[in-house]
């Protein structure tokens, strides 16, 4: 079993960030830069998030 699974709390935080991204209307790259998140990490979250 993987030991690097995300906690329920962290998953909630990530989903909140993705909701904020969608509501902002900004590009993922600009949003990532302005929120101190890696663009690659943000793209990974987007690719694994529920639709």
Provide the pLDDT for residue 50: 84
Provide the pLDDT for residue 3: 63
Provide the pLDDT for residue 24: 96
Whether residue 31 contacts residue 42, with contact meaning beta carbons closer than 8 Å, is answered with yes
pLDDT in tens, the chain (51 residues): 556 788 999 999 999 999 999 999 999 999 999 999 999 999 999 999 888
Q: How far apart are CA 51 and CA 44, in angstroms?
A: 14
List own/partner pairs for 38-46 with CB under 8 A and 24 or more apart. 42/17, 45/14, 45/17, 45/18, 46/18, 46/21
């Amino acid at each position: 079993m993987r030991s690097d699974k995300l906690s329920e709390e962290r998953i909630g935080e990530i989903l909140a960030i993705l909701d904020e991204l969608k509501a902002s209307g900004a590009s993922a790259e600009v949003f990532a830069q302005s929120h101190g998140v890696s663009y690659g990490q943000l793209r990974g979250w987007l690719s694994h998030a529920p639709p």
